[in-house]
Amino acid sequence: MDKEHKGVDSLLLSDLVEVWETNSLTLRTIEHLTMFSIAIVLASIIGIFLGLFLYSRPKIAHPTLNLLNLVETIPDIPLLVLLLPIFGLGSGPTIVASVLYSLLPITRNTYTGLKEVDLKYVDIARAMGLSEKDILFKVRIPLSLPMIVGGLRIALVFTMGVVTLGGLIAAGGLGAALIAGIQLYKINTILVAGLWTGLLAVIFDGLAGIVEKRLQRRYGIW
């Protein structure tokens, strides 16, 4: 009782280790990042393919993107609980919801990136004797990469958010630790798990940002 009311200043290294161990935060982090990785890989594969598909069928591009936009406005917890009857409790609906939210940025950026490649490159590629397939794979896709990575970066942030909420529907992960802290009103648990969750998200976002900037610089965009 005493320990919990000492407040923020007294969070010592020994407390940190204790909180970490009693809440098995290593395990929680692994669960967290597993869901995160599965969702991101799935969303990237589906999103990039969908973007390519929309690029080849411009007619359905707008309606599809509008639909994905609608998904984006649905609040996260209602979306999660609506998926429960289909996917049960746990990591299933968490991953599905993450993918649904991530599709818009990845698909939209892939589609826009491909569509807005500077036509002078397409023209010169055609004049050099590249086939349409070569133009897509050697010119359009590589030139859209900075844009696609930008979409992925937004998706990373969405996914981190949803995966953390997964704790509410028994998916484990760091959200579960936060819930334990709130329910038992354990201040140290909340602080350690909360800061660690935030830090993790910021680190991943920062790494993605570095990749994005590298690509932009390499391509001479600025």
Partner 1 sequence: MASKRLFDRIDSIQLRGVTKKYDDRFAINDVSIDIEGGELVIFIGPSGSGKTTTLRMINRLIEPDSGTILINDQNIMELEPVALRRNIGYVIQSIGLFPHMTIAENIGLVAKLEGWNEKKIKDRVEYLLDFVSLPSDMFMDRYPHQLSGGQQQRVGLARALVMDPPLLLMDEPFGALDPILRKQLQEEFYQIREKLGKTIIFVTHDIEEAFKLGDRIAIMDDAKLVQIGTAEELIFHPANEMVASIVDTSKKFKHLDTLKIKDLISPLECMYVHDGSLDIESAISSMIGKNIEIAVVSNGSFPLGIVKLIDLLRMDDKESKIIDHVVKIPSFSRNKLLSSSLKIMQKDGHSMAFVMTDGKLSGFLFPNDAFSQVIG
Partner 2 sequence: MVTLETILSHTADHLVLVLMTLIISICISMPLAFGSLYNKRFGYVVTKFANLAQAVPSFAVVAIVVPLMGIGFYPAVVAILLRALLPIIKNTYIGLSTVDPSMLDYADGIGLNEWQILRYVRLPNAYPAIFAGIKFAFILINSIAILTAYIGSGGLGELIFQGLVAFNNEKILAGAIPAILIAIAFDIIFTRIEKKLTPHYRK
The piece of 112-120, 127-135, 140-148, 169-177 that touches partner 2 (CB under 8 A) is 169-177
Closest CA to 36 of 108, 95, 101, 118: 95
Q: Using CB distances below 5 to 8 A depending on partner kind, what does residue 27 bind out of partner 1, partner 2, none?
A: none
Closest CA to 216 of 120, 149, 155: 149
178 Cα distance to chain centroid: 20
In whole angstroms, what is the distance from residue 111 CA to residue 147 CA? 9
Q: Using CB distances below 5 to 8 A depending on partner kind, what does residue 99 bind out of partner 1, partner 2, none?
A: none
- Using CB under 8 A, pick the residue from 16, 42, 46, 187 that binds partner 2: 187
Token code pair at residue 39: 């969702």
In whole angstroms, what is the distance from residue 175 CA to residue 81 CA? 16
The piece of 22-30, 54-62, 136-144, 154-162 that touches partner 2 (CB under 8 A) is 154-162
* Residue 33 contacts partner 2 per CB under 8 A: no
* Residue 213 contacts partner 1 per CB under 8 A: no
Please give the full DSSP string across 138-178, using - where no structure is assigned.
IIIHHHHHHHHHHHHHHHHHHHHHHHHHGGGGT--SHHHHH
- Scanning residues 124 to 163, which ones bind partner 1 (CB under 8 A)? 124-131, 134, 138-139, 142-143, 145
Q: Which is nearer to partner 2, 6 or 57 (CB)?
A: 6
CA angle 11, 3, 200 (to 5 degrees): 35
- Using CB under 8 A, pick the residue from 151, 160, 171, 172 that binds partner 2: 160
Residues lying near partner 2 in the complex (CB under 8 A) are found at: 7-8, 70, 72-79, 81-82, 84-85, 156-157, 160-161, 163-165, 167-169, 174-175, 178-179, 181-182, 185, 187, 190-191, 193-195, 197-198, 201-202, 204-206
